[in-house]
Chains A and B, each alone.
Chain A
Amino acid sequence: MLMNLGGAMEQRLSAQWARVRARMRSEFGETAFQSWLKPLTFKGFHNGVVHLLVPTRFMQNWIESQYGDRLLELWRSENPSVTAIDVVHSATSSASHSAGHSGGHSATHGASGFSAHGRDGAAAPSANTDALNSFDAGLCAPLDPRFRFDNFIVGKPNELAFAAARRVAEADNVPFNPLFLFGGVGLGKTHLMHAIAAQLRESAPEKRVLYLSAEKFMYQFIRALRYKDTMAFKEQFRSVDVLMIDDVQFIAGKDNTQEEFFHTFNALVDQNRQVVISADKSPAELEGIEDRMKSRLGWGLVAEIHSTTYELRLGILQSKAEQMSADIPPKVLEFLAHKITSNVRELEGALNRLVAYANLVGRSITLETAQEVLHDLLRANDRRVTIEEIQKRVAEHFNVKLSEMHSARRSRGIARPRQVAMYLSKQLTARSLPEIGRKFGGRDHTTVMHAVRKVDELKQSDSSFAEDVELLRRMLEG
Chain B
Amino acid sequence: MIGRQFPLALEFLPALGRADFLIAPCNQAAAALVDAWPDWPGPHALVYGPHACGKTHLVTAWREKSGASLLDPARLTVDGLGDALDVAPGTVGPPAWALDGLEEIADEPLLFHLLNSVRERQGSLLMTARAAPSRLNFTLPDLTSRLAAATAVVIEPPDDDLLAGLLIKLFMDRHLTVDPDVVAYILPRIERSFAAIHQAVTALDRAGLAAKRRVTVALVRQVLFQ
Contact = CB atoms under 8 A, between A and B. Distances in A.
Given A118-B39, A376-B135, A349 B19 contact: no
A186 to B, nearest CB: 4
A361 B32 contact: yes
B204 interface: no
Interface stretch (A17-25, A99-107, A268-276, A392-400): A99-107
A431 B191 contact: yes
A431 B192 contact: yes
B164 A144 contact: no
B107 interface: no
Given A107-B28, A361-B28, A355 B41 contact: yes
Interface residues of A, number: 78
A191 to B, nearest CB: 13
Contacts of A56: 15, 19-20, 22, 169
Interface in B153-205: 153, 157, 160-161, 164-165, 168-169, 172-173, 177, 179-180, 184, 188-193, 196
Contacts of A113: 32, 36, 39
B145 A186 contact: yes
Nearest to B2: A65
B102 interface: no
A386 to B, nearest CB: 14
A432 interface: yes
A355 B36 CA distance: 14
Given A107-B28, A110-B36, A114-B36, A35 B190 contact: no
Contacts of B19: 55-57, 89-91, 101, 103
B33 A360 contact: yes
B36 to A, nearest CB: 5
A171 B36 CA distance: 43
Interface in B10-55: 15, 17-20, 22-23, 28-29, 31-33, 35-36, 38-43
A97 B42 contact: no
A180 B172 CA distance: 62
A328 interface: no
The prevalent SS among residues of A at the interface is: helix
A432 B189 contact: yes
Contacts of A35: 161, 164-165
B36 A105 contact: no
B175 to A, nearest CB: 10
B41 A356 contact: yes
A185 B142 contact: yes
A102 B175 CA distance: 27
B20 A348 contact: no
Contact of A106 (B35, B145, B188, B192): B35
A215 B119 CA distance: 14
25 contacts: A55-B19, A58-B20, A58-B168, A61-B172, A103-B19, A106-B23, A109-B32, A111-B36, A114-B39, A119-B40, A119-B41, A185-B142, A346-B149, A352-B42, A353-B153, A355-B41, A375-B132, A377-B132, A377-B134, A382-B131, A382-B132, A431-B191, A432-B192, A432-B196, A445-B189
Interface of B: 1, 15, 17-20, 22-23, 28-29, 31-33, 35-36, 38-43, 65, 82, 94, 109, 113, 116, 119-120, 122, 131-135, 141-142, 145-146, 148-153, 157, 160-161, 164-165, 168-169, 172-173, 177, 179-180, 184, 188-193, 196
Given A58-B173, A346-B145, 8 more contacts: A110-B35, A110-B36, A112-B39, A144-B119, A359-B36, A382-B132, A430-B192, A445-B189
